[in-house]
Amino acid sequence: MVKAKRELYRVEGMSKVFADRYVFNDISFSIYDGEIFGLIGGSGSGKTTFLNLLVGFIKPDKGKILFQDMHLLDSDKAEAFISIYKRRDQLKPLYGFATQNPSFYPNLTVKENLLYFASLYDISNTSAKANAESILELVDLTQAQHKLARQLSGGMQRRLDIACALIHDPKILILDEPTSDLDPVLSNKIWNLIRVINQQGTTIIIASHDLGELENICTRVAIIKEGKLAAIGKPGELKAKTVSQRIFIKLEPGNYKTISAELKKLGKTITQKIIATQITTEGLYIHTKTPEEIMPSLLEIIKAQNEKLLNVEFIKPNLTHVFAEITKGHNPEPITDEKKKHKKKHHNHKKRHKK
């Protein structure tokens, strides 16, 4: 990952209302040059709307979305911010946008698509061809460059879409759910591609449900909840700030209430480190920031209570947990591996149905 440099976007008290409801309410944050910025939110939380606000497709009802003046991007001059909405057309060449649904002409070949979009960015033929070749190589579509776009597989189409977004060598690449409807193998390819693109100096802003990958790839993430910016920061920081680690134990006969009570009887040095205990039908969860310190005492209690330890797990928090914690009471529906499988199944079913 390229280290973030300077402020590229500045969102100041931005609010957006749709149908008398705040989609965003007084949001303020910044996106830095060269970073991979992840945007996380529940279904319908307004992630796509936010991306469209960033490129000036939609005007905020309140506040500002500012962009550091393009002429100053590669210099060390003082900050000079301009309004995105007012300079929308001028800023267009600066970013490439790949939406959830690939956007290209199905009846043009891969290369024709790239060259056509390059021409719309006023790139000369020679440069366009050179760009196309390098991008085709980057997205691994060189072999398929003469194929009609509609004949490509889902993963290839997604890559072509990203290639189209990159054809004019944008400073910022905005990706909306880049791996939706893709199987894990294709998703991995896309994530790797994103990494490579970022390594070439392109700032990437991603909205995705794939929190696991976002955690791995993003420099920073922002979590949107009910129109508010619930959290923003590096994934590690958010995890540390928001959720604890957990110990999960499964016992037999499983008198978890006694175990929980015994834990509370331990000295302050231990009990202070236990954040909470949670009894479920599966077993007992012990929330703590220092599981290694609690574990010996816990094992002693288990032994003393004549319980048989069937399973023990140390659960480290991830972005999904952070998201779940932050959006508690909401239904964030983050994508888990289980859901991915289900989604893929559903996708295949839809495909069959369409046929």
| Binding positions for another protein, rule: CB under 8 A | 18-21, 23, 42-46, 48-49, 52-53, 55, 57-58, 89-90, 92-93, 96-97, 99, 101-106, 113, 117, 120-122, 161, 164-165, 168, 226, 329-331
CB 207 within 8 A of CB 39: yes
In angstroms, give the least distance from the CB of 46 to another protein.
5
Instruction: Tell the smallest beta-carbon distance from residue 81 to another protein (Å).
Output: 20
User: Which helix (H) or strand (E) element contains residue 302?
Assistant: helix 291-304
Buried b (16+ CB within 10 A) or exposed e, 90-108: ebbbbbbbbbbebebeeeb
Amino acid found at 328 = K
Give min distance, CB of 346 to another protein, in A.
Answer: 15
Closest residue by Cα to residue 217 from 200, 239, 199, 230: 199
CB of 249 to another protein, least distance (A): 27
CB of 18 to another protein, least distance (A): 5
For another protein, the closer CB: 113 or 187: 113
- Phi, psi at 29, each rounded to 5°: -170, 180
| Rounded (5°) CA angle 60-66-72 | 160
Closer residue to another protein (CB): 97 or 256: 97
Q: How far is the CB of 79 from another protein (least distance, A)?
A: 24
Gap between the Cα atoms of 197 and 177, Å rounded: 16
Nearer to another protein, 38 or 46 (CB): 46
In three-state secondary structure terms, 109 is strand
Residue nearer to another protein on the CB measure, 102 or 317:
102
Q: d(Cα 288, Cα 296) in Å, to the nearest integer?
A: 14
Residue nearer to another protein on the CB measure, 8 or 270: 8
Q: Which is nearer to another protein, 4 or 149 (CB)?
A: 149
Token couple for 65: 């979305």
**Cis before 253 (ω within 30):** yes
Q: Which is nearer to another protein, 118 or 217 (CB)?
A: 118
Strand, helix or coil for residue 260: helix
Q: Provide, rounded to whole angstroms, the least separation between the CB of residue 64 and another protein.
A: 17
CA distances from 267 to 255, 281, 294, 297 (A): 21, 28, 11, 10
